[in-house]
Amino acid sequence: MFLDRPQALSDKAVLEGRRSQLATAPHIQSLEQWRADYVAARSLRIPHFDPDDAGDQARVLFVLDRPPEEVLSEQGSGFVSVDNPDSSAERCWIERDAAGLHNEVLMWNLVPFPASSPTADDRTAGAKALGSVLRLLPRLEVVLLCSDMVQQTWERHLRDRVPRVIAIKAPGVGPQALSRKTKQEELRKAVLRAKRLVG
Cα separation, 38 vs 187, whole angstroms: 31
Predicted confidence (pLDDT) per residue in 108-122, tens digit = 999 999 998 899 999
Ranges of H-type helices in 26-119? 29-42, 87-99
CA atoms within 13 A on the CB side of 195: 15
> For 10-62, how does the pLDDT look when each residue is reduced to its tens digit (9 = 90+)?
999 999 999 999 999 999 999 999 999 999 999 889 999 999 999 999 999 99
Spell out the domains of the chain, with CATH numbers in brackets. Answer: 8-198 (3.40.470.10)
Span 136-156, pLDDT tens digits: 999 999 999 999 999 999 999
Region of 147 (left: φ > 0; alpha: ψ -120 to 50; beta: rest) is left
pTM of this prediction?
0.96
Laid out side by side, the sheet with 60-64 consists of 105-109, 60-64, 142-146, 166-170
Report the 10 Å Cβ neighbour count for 110: 27
Cβ partners under 8 Å of residue 198, min gap 6: 59, 60, 101, 104, 141, 142
Q: CA distances (Å), 11 to each of 23, 87, 128, in order?
A: 21, 16, 34
